[in-house]
Amino acid sequence: MSCICESRFVTKGFSLIELMVALAIFSILAGIAVPSFLYFISWHRAEVAVNEFASGLEKARYLAVRKGVLIKLSVDVDGDEVLDSGFCIYIDKDKNNKVSENDEILHIQTFKGVKIDKDKTTIDGASYPLNFSKSGFVKGGSLWIAFPSGKFKKITLLPPLGEIKITTETG
C-alpha cells in the first residue's frame, strides 16, 4: 500500500491584504472618533472652568469675611488690562484696582483652552474687578464662558450677598 502524503502549508499571521483592510477600517473609525473626543475635551475644559470660577467666587467671599479686608477677584490675571482665561483673588495693597506686583495674591487659577466672551462679561468691566467687602457683600457681575457647541454658560454673582447663578445661554 502506498501512502500519499499531502503537504499543506500552515500560515500564521496576516496576509498583506488582510493587514491593509484592518488598517483601513481602523483609520475610518479613528477619523470618526477623534473629532468627537476633541469636542468632549473642549466641553469638559469649559465645564471645569465654570465650576472652578464659581468656587473661586465663594472662596473670595469667604476670605473677605475671614480676613476682615476688601478682597478683589479679577479675570485680568496678570494686570495687563486684558481679560484672561482665568481669575486672580487678591488684596489690592496699592489701591489701583488691578493686579500688580505690590498686591497680595491669594489665589490664581488659569484655564487652558477655555474662551471667555469678553464683550458680555461684566467682571472687570471698565477695569474694575469684583470687590468683596469685609462683611462678604458684593456689587455683582457676570462671566460668560464659551462652549464648543456655540452656547455659553453665564455665571452671575447676585448682589448683595453674592449668590451664584449659573445659566446656559445662546449666542
Asked if residue 10 belongs to a domain, the reply is: no
95, part of any domain: yes
**DSSP assignment of 11-36:** P-S--HHHHHHHHHHHHHHHHHHHHH
For residue 27, give the CATH number of its domain.
3.55.40.10
Residue 131 identity = N
Q: Residue 7 falls within a domain, yes or no?
A: no
For 39-73, how does the pLDDT look when each residue is reduced to its tens digit (9 = 90+)?
Answer: 999 999 999 999 999 999 999 999 999 999 999 99
How far is residue 32 from each of residues 25, 45, 121, measured CA to CA in Å? 11, 21, 35
Would 111 be classed as within a structural domain?
A: yes
In this structure, are residues 103 and 78 in contact, taking their beta carbons and an 8 Å threshold? no
Q: Based on the structure, what is the number of domains in the chain?
A: 1
Q: Report if residue 9 sits inside a domain.
A: no
**pTM summary value:** 0.81
Nearest CA to 114 out of 85, 153, 77 is that of: 85
Q: Does residue 3 lie in a domain region?
A: no
pLDDT at 126: 55
Domain that includes residue 86, residue range: 16-170
